Chain A
Amino acid sequence: MTTIQRKKSSPIAHLTPEDIEAIGVELDAIRDEVMNSRGEKDAAYIRRVIAWQRGLELSSRGVLLFSLFPPAWLVGTAGLSVAKILENMEIGHNIMHGQWDFMRDPKIHSTKWEWDHASPAEQWKHSHNELHHTYTNVVGRDNDLGYGIMRVDEDQRWHPMHLGQPLWNFINACFFEYGIAAYDLELGKNLATKERRQRPEFKSALKKVRRKIGKQMLKDYVVHPALSGPSFLHTLAANATANLIRNVWSHSVIMCGHFPNGVETFEKTSIEGETRGEWYLRQMLGSANISGSKAMHIMTGNLSHQIEHHLFPDMPSRRYAEIAPKIKDLFQRYGLTYTSGPLPKQVASAWYKVIRLSLPNRGEAAIRRPKAVKPVVASDPSARWRRASAAVAEAPAAVAASAAAASSAVAASAAAASSAVADAATGLAGTTTAQA
């Protein structure tokens, strides 16, 4: 919750811990129902979208061979823009989420897919699937909140540099794929000290990004223009335009997911020892949908169903529309706000926030962000997937112990809570090393 959308009370104050776990159980049931019915229609859908996208890209590039003629330039550029958007949103993003892994088709698999984007799949999957989706809207943990260059919450200290953030945001929109690549590399942090710059992990990641960007540039700005012969410059301009349109479009869609009015942010300490129900609740409060037609949903890669996507990131995208009414009903029954609106409204709302927060706060930031959970001592990540019913697997002793710790930690001192943060931080560092 930010200054500009300050509320009198926390939006979840009325929920008991039992309510939160009940929400988790209901969401698990919705997930199971869809995941157990994945099949031929889903497989046919993604194959159809891929075939359609490739056909569109190929024919648009074919038309652009004659981009000297203005109608060809217009048609080719429009087609290529749509193809590039589809490739990034409905195809690349969703495949790399593992939404289609159930097909066991190595050609359409999260571990094998590479996309038309400056950031190599492997690095993007780490920062997006792992950091953004696990730590959604947790200030300081989720880099998608402002991409490390913007002030997106009134609790962040204002700095005169933030006066320029509407401009930074606009530039980021135009060169979004490079912005993403930079932040997948954690460029800001990794360039800060000589020691970090020299780390072999960083150097190797940087090399991969350079190679990827090199290939992408060669394709769009050398090879295809060269194939167009006399239309060289026109094709180059067409490809640059298509990339620009794709960048601005995806930036806008993504801003609508977590920035608009009504979306909550969370404190680092609020997620320690988070249960499955609490994790779900954070996703529900931290995301916003875009309403619109079926074409709109496809062009946003079904990120217009951002809430459903954040609850079930590995569910095939074509199923989000199907579960949306159930999710909306769940929000209503538990007195929560299902944030949704048409694209222009949501984009405007997100931009308003960017502009408003470029200025310092008015008055004291008296009301704190909602604490989705009480701080507890233990931080066992398995709590996030272990289900309340424990019908599937018996909870091992460690989890039982952490639950016991949780109940006795209600009166835990602030010192204990902060030591839990330190523990969690070391835990994360360990994870990252294993990943590298």
Chain B
Amino acid sequence: MAVIRNLRTGAWRVVELITTPVVPADYLDVIAPLRNANVLRARVDAVRPETDRAVTLVLRPGRGWLPHEPGQYVRVGVDVDGVRLWRSYSITSPPARKDGRITITVNAVPDGAVSTHLLTRARRGMLLHLDVPTGEFQLPAARPGKALFVTAGSGITPVMGMLRSALHEMSDVVVVHSAGTHEAVVFGAELRTLAAEGRIRLVERHTRTDGRIKPADLDDLVPDLFDRQTWACGPNEMLDDLEAHWADAGQADRLVTERFRPALISAGGGGTVTFTQSGTVLETDGSVPLLDAGEAAGVLMPSGCRMGICFSCVLPLREGAVRDLRDGTLTVAEAGDSIPVQTCVSAAAGPCRIED
């Protein structure tokens, strides 16, 4: 066996020499982009409109994909006008489909570059970049007997993933879902069918006509509210209200919430800069380049021309916002991102984390 292994590594070395300075996978990418084990990609196999503001993409993930748990999300990298932007989307298909495919459902976000792009431009055959699935918003292995899902708008997507994979393992499920109108309910037909078949009890609220559900309303809508294990997903204000309601009742541990939107990144001037490797934290104002601020605080940083042309000082922005001091361009990274920025001409535009 050892001989075969050595032969195989030896042969691979030769292949690597054939293609040096690039790796063999770079050539393979031209023919079979899903075969690259180091760069996880997916091909769009089908595009299905859900509502006029939501679309489901059927994806075939490439090599390196790991099976997901119902309720988890995946970060998707999409080239929007030539720039790769990453966003998180809930997986709406059950795990381990025989055809190996997954679905994500994209809801239009006002002024959302990626969601708008996918809604209008996603086509069969399009390539996307993927991360492995992640997220703590999951059902326990021992499925709850009595479950409640409180969702609003696109908050239904992770719950749909849960219902599609584990509804048959739960005996008593209530879904309280709010959307603007009857037509705006994503998966509306499927939810109503499940309700008609008696597999779930569905409370559907159209907020445009009936207003929003208050946590207190839930006590009436779901009389055995606190006997149930509850999962909630939707706008931050709704989740804040629900968490307060459950906490007041001393039942905080029976509620699991999922937030799509992180705290808004301030795009002002200056902020707290955290260098993730050295652990240095410092306050800067909006006119001092990250490089100067970091060096003044003793962080060892790469540097070069110090005028924005040589790209020797580029470091990944892991989270937060920085502004290019030359033309004011704002670069924003969300948790999980790694966007290289030129530290010699970029200043903090809010709290940010730099990998030094």
Chain B, 298-356, CB within 8 A of any chain A CB: 300-312, 314, 323, 325-329, 339-340, 342, 344-345, 347
Contacts of B81 in A (CB 8 A): 39-40
The answer on a CB contact under 8 Å between A133 and B309 is: yes
Of all chain A residues, the one with the shortest Cβ separation from B25 is A107
| A434 to B294 Cα, complex, angstroms | 12
Q: Which residues in B have their C-beta under 8 angstroms from that of A32? A: 327
Q: Are A104 and B328 in contact (CB under 8 A)?
A: no
Q: What is the CA–CA distance of A341 and B259 in the complex, to the nearest angstrom? A: 61
Stretch of B66-74, B158-166, B238-246, B283-291 contacting A (4+ beta carbons < 8 Å): B283-291
Q: How far, in Å, is A176 (CB) from chain B's closest CB?
A: 17
* B340 and A111 contact, CB distance less than 8 A: yes
State the main secondary structure of chain B at its contact with A.
loop
Binds A, one of B13-21, B144-152, B195-203, B274-282: B13-21
Question: Does B224 interact with chain A (Cβ within 8 Å)?
Answer: no
What per-residue 1/0 map shows which CB atoms of B12-47 lie under 8 Å from chain A?
A: 001001101110001100100000000100000000
Closest to B18 in A: A223
Instruction: Say whether A293 faces chain B, with CB atoms less than 8 Å apart.
Output: no
Which residues of chain B from 129 to 181 have any CB-CB distance to chain A below 8 Å in the complex?
none
Q: Are A54 and B27 in contact (CB under 8 A)?
A: yes
Give the contact stretch, choosing among A94-102, A154-162, A357-365, A409-417: A94-102
> Nearest-CB distance from B304 to chain A (Å)?
4
Between B30, B307, B310, B329, the greatest number of chain A beta carbons within 10 A of the residue's beta carbon is seen for B310
Nearest CB of B to A102, in Å? 6
Residue of A nearest to B307 (CB): A384
Asked, given contacts A39-B81, A44-B82, A111-B340, whether A129 binds B20 with beta carbons under 8 Å apart, the answer is no
Q: Say whether B183 faces chain A, with CB atoms less than 8 Å apart.
A: no
Q: A101 to B340, Cβ gap below 8 A?
A: yes
> For the complex, is B79 an interface residue (Cβ under 8 Å from A)?
yes
Please give, as numbers and ranges, the residues of chain B lying within 8 Å of A101 by CB-CB distance: 311, 314, 340
Please classify the interface of chain A as helix (H, G, I), strand (E, B), loop, or mixed, using the class held by over half of its residues. Answer: helix
Does any Cβ of B come within 8 Å of A15's Cβ?
A: no
Is there contact, CB below 8 Å, between A434 and B18? no
The A-B contact count (CB < 8 A) is: 151
Q: Which of A36, A109, A382 has the most CB of B within 10 A?
A: A382
Q: In whole angstroms, how far apart are the Cα atoms of A105 and B306 in the complex?
A: 24
Q: Which A residues are CB-close (under 8 A) to B323? A: 392-393
Q: Are A216 and B307 in contact (CB under 8 A)?
A: no
B83 CB–A CB distance under 8 Å: yes
A138 to chain B, nearest CB (A): 13
Q: Are A435 and B304 in contact (CB under 8 A)?
A: yes
Cα distance, A364 to B79, chains bound together (Å): 61
Q: Does B214 reach chain A (CB closer than 8 Å)?
A: no
Q: Are B295 and A434 in contact (CB under 8 A)?
A: yes
Docked CA distance A19–B311 (Å): 29
For residue A42, CB closer than 8 A to chain B, the reply is yes
Instruction: Give the residue name and chain of the B residue nearest to A128 (CB).
Output: B310
Query: Counting CB contacts under 8 A, is B208 at the interface?
Result: no
**Complex-state Cα separation, A191 to B30, whole angstroms:** 44
Most buried by A among B26, B300, B305, B340: B305
Which listed residue (A35, A133, A391, A393) contacts B286, Cβ 8 A? A393
Which chain B residues lie closer than 8 Å to A392 at the CB level? 323, 325-328
Given contacts A58-B27, A129-B304, A392-B327, contact A110 B311 (CB under 8 A): yes
Assess whether A431 is interfacial by the CB under 8 Å rule.
yes
Whether the Cβ atoms of B22 and A129 lie closer than 8 Å is no
B84 at the interface (CB under 8 A from A): yes
Q: Which of B20, B30, B79 contacts A103 (CB 8 A)?
A: B79
Structural contact, A105 and B340, CB atoms closer than 8 A:
no
Tell me how far the C-beta of A349 lies from the nearest C-beta in chain B, rounded to whole angstroms: 27
Choose from A41, A105, A109, A381 the contact partner of B305 (Cβ within 8 Å). A381
10 nearest A-B pairs in the assembled complex, by CB-CB distance: A43-B82, A129-B310, A98-B311, A130-B304, A381-B306, A384-B307, A130-B310, A39-B81, A134-B305, A114-B21
Other contacts beyond A134-B305, A314-B311, A385-B345: 20, CB < 8 A? A28-B327, A40-B82, A41-B82, A43-B79, A51-B30, A54-B27, A58-B27, A101-B340, A103-B79, A104-B83, A104-B84, A110-B311, A111-B311, A114-B21, A126-B304, A126-B310, A382-B289, A385-B308, A385-B325, A435-B303
- Chain A residues within CB distance 8 Å of chain B: 28, 31-32, 35-36, 38-44, 51, 54-55, 58, 96-98, 101-105, 107, 109-111, 114-117, 125-126, 129-130, 133-134, 212, 215-216, 218-219, 223-224, 227, 279, 313-314, 381-382, 384-387, 391-396, 431, 434-435
